[in-house]
Amino acid sequence: MPQAGAREGRKSRSTASSPKPLIPEDNANVPNGAEEAPAAFQPQSGKAAKAARKSSVPRARRMKLSLTKVDPWSVTKVSFLLAIAGAIIQVVAVGMLWMLLNAIGLFDNITQIVSTTGLDSGGIDIASVLSIGKVLSVTTIFSIFEIVLVTVLATIGAFLYNVVSALVGGVHVTLGDD
């Protein structure tokens, strides 16, 4: 049950929400009864104006972060996927390069030069030795070896980073809101 004394200190809604008078009595020095401008819009002296401008300009936020641990499993997954992407790019690039060299007739010219110099003892055809199938097979085998090597080296690098980071505190980075 509310106390009767607690209600006595409150104003009724009709007097608390009554509108302000249009011309306040305390602004007698302001002409035509206009309200005085807020302090931020009034003219200030030189030093005060510079201080007000500096405080109103937002400052760039900066955060100092430290990379102290790298999860080796996530490094393994990311390096594996990046190595696969690199291998696909490598196989496509070698295939396109082979097609370009074949289109300009490089393999036929090399075979002709070898035969005119007398170096072809068994009638070697460079175009058959460097066929598209053999070149792409060798490139694919090399790319698979490269995928395994890159993944293993990146994982070992993550473990080494964690050991060194425990000793020296990791990599410190400052991020700015510039």
- Name the residue ranges covered by the structural domains of the chain: 64-176
Rounded mean pLDDT of 100-116?
86
pLDDT band at 142 (very low <50, low <70, confident <90, very high): very high
pLDDT for position 177: 79
Tell me if 101 sits within 8 A of 67, measured CB to CB.
no
pLDDT of residue 116: 81
Longest CA pairwise span in the chain (Å):
122
Q: What is the pLDDT of residue 61?
A: 84
Phi-psi region of 12 (alpha: psi -120 to 50; beta: other; left: phi over 0): beta
- Please give the residue that has the higher pLDDT: either 171 or 6: 171
Distance from C-alpha of 28 to C-alpha of 20, rounded to nearest angstrom: 16
Question: Residues 6 or more apart from 11 whose CB is under 8 A from it?
Answer: none
The H or E element spanning position 54 is helix 46-56
- Spell out where 58-148 has E strands: 62-67
3-state secondary structure of 130: coil
Q: How confident is the model at residue 73 (pLDDT cuts 50, 70, 90)?
A: very high
Phi, psi (deg, nearest 5) at residue 130: -100, 50
Task: Give the pLDDT band of residue 113 (cuts 50, 70, 90).
Answer: confident
